[in-house]
């Protein structure tokens, strides 16, 4: 195949064309190979002034076996990854690309993930992945925006190295947790706009409930944490009062600094699952009350409860 290793048949053609007086350039054109490939082949395997195809094929086989025996067991040879490593990088990159990460960025990320502790330079990535510097630069910018890689100067200070450090997974976890909480909050606002009894409201309710639980589980919050305990205390105060309260009134009633009450209210707004099955409502400037979470009960369940209440009303 053009561009691959010379075959036994290629060598027979070379021998025949040399005997016919063809030059290296013409033989290269006939085989679809560079002239330098033909000249090196003939120089390496010419014996006593003659190029013999069978002898050249046998010598090439010996060289290939020696290279295979001398190949290091490590994942990188002469700065290049082995076939096994290249296969892993491509396979893992395919998995990451299925999650939404761009294909080239996935390859760069996995290449860095499998590199030594010192990381890789942009030139290293270009060489290992056999891609353009622009592709590497674009992928690095994407990964930096996601805080998945960091830059470090190399030992000589002339080039930057890209590293996946030990904190990368914590940063990714925190970013996901924050995003999930924001989705839950946005879904809650959508329910208030569309109404819990609408199709959109029902969908948003299920979505908000899912991401609120996911955010709570990923954040690792427990009721022992001060801000969460304060949030539940604020909620209990609103339930006990049975009417809307201002921030100042809440803080004074609880004998807290205003900042402490504000932090508790902010925690409920950012992480609605804290108050489940209740929900905080803002009804005016720094004025709060509570309601049941509209996504906790389906429209059918609410209707059934209302019917039972009406049936039991004297």
Tens of pLDDT along 159-175? Answer: 788 988 777 776 666 66
Q: What is the pLDDT of residue 224?
A: 46
102-127 mean pLDDT: 88
Within 10 angstroms of residue 227's Cβ, the number of other Cβ atoms is 15
For residue 289, the cross-strand partners are 281
d(CA 76, CA 129): 12
The DSSP code for 77 is: E
What's the pLDDT at 249?
94
pLDDT band with cut points at 50, 70 and 90 for residue 3: very low
- Residue from 131, 133, 127 nearest 80 by CA: 127
Mean pLDDT of the residues in the chain: 80
Give yes or no for residue 148 having a pLDDT over 60: yes
Query: Given a cut of 60, is residue 69 above it in pLDDT?
Result: no
Q: Look at residue 189 and tell me whether its pLDDT is greater than 60.
A: yes
Nearest CA to 267 out of 257, 280, 256 is that of 280
Query: Residues for the chain: how many in total?
Result: 314
Comparing C-alpha atoms, which of 165, 126, 159 is closest to residue 143?
Answer: 165
Write down the pLDDT at residue 245.
Answer: 94
So what's the pLDDT on residue 65?
65
Summarize the confidence of residues 13-40 as an average pLDDT: 84
Q: Cα(140)–Cα(171) distance, rounded to whole angstroms?
A: 17
Q: For residue 247, what pLDDT band results from cuts at 50, 70 and 90?
A: very high
Higher pLDDT pick, 44 / 13: 13
pLDDT of residue 164: 85
**Per-residue pLDDT tens over the stretch 209-218:** 787 777 666 6
| 212-231 average pLDDT score | 67
């Amino acid at each position: 195949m053009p561009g691959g290793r010379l075959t036994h048949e290629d060598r027979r053609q070379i021998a025949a064309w040399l005997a016919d007086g063809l030059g290296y350039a013409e033989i290269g054109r006939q085989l679809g190979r560079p002239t330098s490939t033909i000249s090196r082949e003939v120089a390496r395997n010419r014996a006593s002034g003659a190029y013999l195809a069978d002898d050249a094929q046998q010598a090439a086989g010996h060289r290939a076996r020696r290279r295979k025996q001398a190949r290091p067991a490590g994942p990188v040879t002469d700065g290049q990854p082995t076939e096994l490593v290249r296969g892993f990088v491509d396979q893992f990159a395919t998995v990451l690309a299925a999650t939404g990460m761009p294909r080239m960025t996935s390859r760069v990320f996995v290449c860095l993930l499998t590199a030594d502790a010192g990381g890789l330079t942009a030139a290293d990535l270009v060489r290992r992945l056999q891609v353009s510097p622009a592709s590497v630069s674009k992928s690095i910018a994407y990964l930096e925006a996601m805080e998945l890689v960091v830059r470090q100067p190399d030992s000589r200070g002339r080039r930057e190295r890209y590293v996946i450090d030990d904190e990368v997974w914590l940063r990714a976890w925190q970013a996901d947790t924050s995003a999930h909480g924001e989705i839950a909050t946005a879904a809650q606002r959508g329910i208030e706009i569309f109404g819990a009894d609408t199709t959109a409201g029902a969908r948003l309710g299920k979505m908000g409930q899912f991401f609120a639980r996911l955010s709570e589980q990923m954040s690792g919050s427990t009721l022992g944490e001060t801000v969460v305990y304060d949030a539940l205390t604020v909620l209990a105060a609103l339930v006990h009062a049975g009417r809307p309260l201002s921030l100042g009134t809440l803080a004074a009633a609880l004998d807290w600094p205003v900042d402490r009450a504000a932090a508790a209210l902010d925690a409920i707004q950012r992480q609605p699952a804290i108050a489940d099955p209740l929900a905080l409502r803002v009804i005016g400037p720094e004025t709060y009350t509570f309601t049941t979470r509209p996504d906790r009960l389906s429209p059918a369940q609410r209707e059934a409860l209302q019917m039972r209440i009406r049936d039991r009303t004297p």
